[in-house]
Amino acid sequence: MRGLSTKSDFSLFLGCLIPNRLPEIEKSTRLVCERLGINLHDMKGASCCPAPGVMKSFDKALWLKIAGRNLDIAANMGMDIITLCNGCYGTLKDASMELKDDPELQEVVRASLSTIDRDLGKIVDVYHFVEYLYFDYGLDDLSDHITKKLDYKVAAHYGCHLLKPIKYRRTKDFDAPTFFDELIELTGSTSVDYVEKNTCCGAGGGLRSGLKDVALDIARKKVASIKDANMIVTPCPFCHMQLAQVSNIPVVYYSQLLALSMGFSEEEVGMAVGK
């Protein structure tokens, strides 16, 4: 069920890695959304979501308060949030659901936000971009915009927080989901199966920042099982960065793939700029 948003207007939550490391993801998403009639509005003054792996591990209350501030920015805009990152989605979606479910927790967060003249407003809903495309925008409407059939062989990587915890996710099938494969195949590409398809990339939970060798071992195991693909496609900049570090084939964000199938050039979607 839709929340506050009018039809296609959303608060765009950028996070950290996309604007500050992989801006080609921001660029390609802005391009495709303009074409699709999805109006993305900047959340002025938004911060880190904050990073679930570190902040939630250290101090859950602080994690909720900073997330609450970001939710309040969107509430003041009167629009639900679209995120482009599984980590930001994990934080903002889970924080939004936990706060809606728990009035006492809400009071704690409201009390903290009152010191900076903020509230929480009406707690907004949070969507991951690819979730919104599949479940709300719809494959039929999306296919109307696809003008160039691609024929890539794609290794799809969902990432963990797009799918779990399932109590806060719309699809309950975390073992063999298909919606991201369907979005990929809509572009004319083939989503090829591989043994470690549903394995974690290894970056989350603070593992990449804290114990990188272990994190990369997990990624290597995953990537080594990809046999017959020309690219990995992800819905997450953190998984993206992690897999790109150990992969011999390009790692592409979903918006870039979609943009190519809408006729945008590789240069326009930043594929010449960053790996």
Could you say which residues in the range 215-244 bind another protein, by CB under 8 A? 215, 217-218, 221
d(CA 65, CA 55): 11
**Complex with another protein: residue 206 or 250, whichever CB lies closer:** 206
What angle do helix axes 103-114 and 60-77 make, rounded to 10 degrees?
80
Binding window for another protein (CB under 8 A); candidates: 32-40, 63-71, 77-85, 183-191: 63-71
**Minimum CB–partner distance for residue 237 and another protein (Å):** 10
Q: How far apart are CA 215 and CA 231, in angstroms?
A: 21
The only residue of 45, 103, 140, 151 in contact with another protein, by rule CB under 8 A: 45
For residue 254, give every residue at least 6 positions away whose Cβ sits within 8 Å of its Cβ, in sequence order, or none.
Answer: 129, 130, 180, 183, 184, 233, 234, 235
In the region spanning residues 178 to 207, those forming contacts with another protein, defined by CB under 8 A, are 199-200, 202-207
54 binds another protein (CB under 8 A): yes
Q: Write out the binding residues for another protein, residues 136-165 only, by CB under 8 A.
A: 160-161, 164-165
Told to check if 23 binds another protein by CB under 8 A, we report: yes
Q: At closest approach, how far in Å is the CB of 181 from another protein? A: 19
Count of other CB atoms within 10 angstroms of residue 78: 15
CB burial readout 101-139, b (16+ within 10 A) else e: eeeebbeebbebbeeeebebbebbbbbbbbbbbbeebee
Closer to another protein by Cβ: residue 132 or 174: 174
Task: Please state the closest distance from residue 132 (CB atom) to another protein, in A.
Answer: 21
